[in-house]
Amino acid sequence: MKGFKLALLQLLTTKDKTETLKNAAQWISKAKNKGAELVALPECFNCPYGTEHFAKYAEEIPTGPTSDMLSTAARENKIYLVGGTIPEKESNRLYNTCTVWNPEGQLILKYRKMHLFDIDIPGKITFKESDVLSPGNSLGTFKIGECKIGIGICYDLRFEELAKLYRNEECKMLIYPGAFNMTTGPKHWELLQRGRAVDNQLYVAAISPARDTTAGYVAWGHSQVTDPWGKVLVTASEKEEMIFADIDLTECDNVRQQIPISKQRRTDVYNTIHVKKN
């Protein structure tokens, strides 16, 4: 497989988890009907985004109702499904977790957000995920055909080292469910995605929730797919919608051959090393 059709679902989230999951399942089916082979959902797609909501909406994985819906949707539509993120509870800890499901409905990856969103921009936004969430410590990859894909979540997008580790593992795409806000979104959302794509010569897809101006945390929207040359292939508006991109893996091969930066890195002077934790 030298390519596949990708769908990003920019969805609205409500406080009614049952209705939110039903809506997501319907959009997943619509994406499949339009030919998508890989479908990806936004960060915190099953609950409002906010530290005050995480404990209430948290579920165990893979036994909760959100996992049940994602597994069923992947199996019934025979697709690979990146299940955005949900608040995950394990023992006495909470995580912001992305799950990936194969066309048989099996859970093939669980990635926990590594870099927690703790920022303070005076007069704009203050947010501290670490008040309630614990960080993950492991990379997360899966394969669809010949394409190895790495997963990051929102704030992870700002850390080039994580993207470089995925590039070192031969990934040809990075997927970031993310919810940039009305302050950081206009400034950095597109810029960071293009930067990660150019730096690592791979596709980058980032999936935002749709914008809800009545919510406590207002997402920027504008889900996006960027190619290995740094070109934005498609971008969404701020509303609930789905966007598609045809992923051509030969583009990764072409840019890496023509501009062979991975072979030219001075690892005798600098390096990015994966420090594995037990």
Residue 54 and residue 47 in contact, taking contact as beta carbons nearer than 8 Å: yes
- Asked about 154 being catalytic, the answer comes back as yes
**Can you tell me the distance from the alpha carbon of 53 to that of 57, in angstroms, rounded to the nearest whole number?**
6
**pLDDT for position 1:** 62
Paired residues of 203 in beta bridges: 173
Strands 38-40 and 3-10: parallel
**pLDDT for position 85:** 98
- Asked about 113 being catalytic, the answer comes back as yes
The amino acid sitting at 19 is E
Q: What is the pLDDT of residues 63-107, one digit of tens each?
A: 999 999 999 999 999 999 999 999 999 999 999 999 999 999 999
Q: Which of 154, 164, 240, 251 is catalytic?
A: 154
Residue 109 and residue 130 in contact, taking contact as beta carbons nearer than 8 Å: no
Task: List, as own/partner pairs, every contact residues 50-54 make where C-beta atoms lie below 8 angstroms and the sequence separation is at least 24, other chains included.
Answer: 50/216, 50/217, 51/127, 51/128, 51/129, 51/131, 51/132, 51/133, 52/216, 53/87, 54/87, 54/94, 54/96, 54/132, 54/133
CATH class (in words) of the domain with range 3-264: alpha beta
Whether this model's pTM surpasses 0.85 = yes
**Can you tell me the distance from the alpha carbon of 105 to that of 72, in angstroms, rounded to the nearest whole number?**
6
Three-state DSSP class for residue 99: strand
- Work out the percent of the chain whose per-residue pLDDT is above 70: 99
In the sheet where 232-235 sits, what is the strand order?
Answer: 141-144, 147-151, 173-177, 203-207, 224-226, 232-235
CA-nearest of 170, 163, 164, 176 to 146 is: 170
Domain-wise residue ranges, the chain: 3-264
Three-state DSSP class for residue 163: helix
- Asked about 252 being catalytic, the answer comes back as no
Residue 209 and residue 236 in contact, taking contact as beta carbons nearer than 8 Å: no
Q: What is the pLDDT of residues 161-195, one digit of tens each?
A: 999 999 999 999 999 999 999 999 999 999 999 99
Residue 9 and residue 21 in contact, taking contact as beta carbons nearer than 8 Å: no
Q: Which of 43, 190, 238, 240 is catalytic?
A: 43
Asked whether the predicted pLDDT for residue 217 surpasses 80, the reply is yes
**Can you tell me the distance from the alpha carbon of 160 to that of 176, in angstroms, rounded to the nearest whole number?**
13
**Can you tell me the distance from the alpha carbon of 39 to that of 8, in angstroms, rounded to the nearest whole number?**
6
**Can you tell me the distance from the alpha carbon of 172 to that of 33, in angstroms, rounded to the nearest whole number?**
25
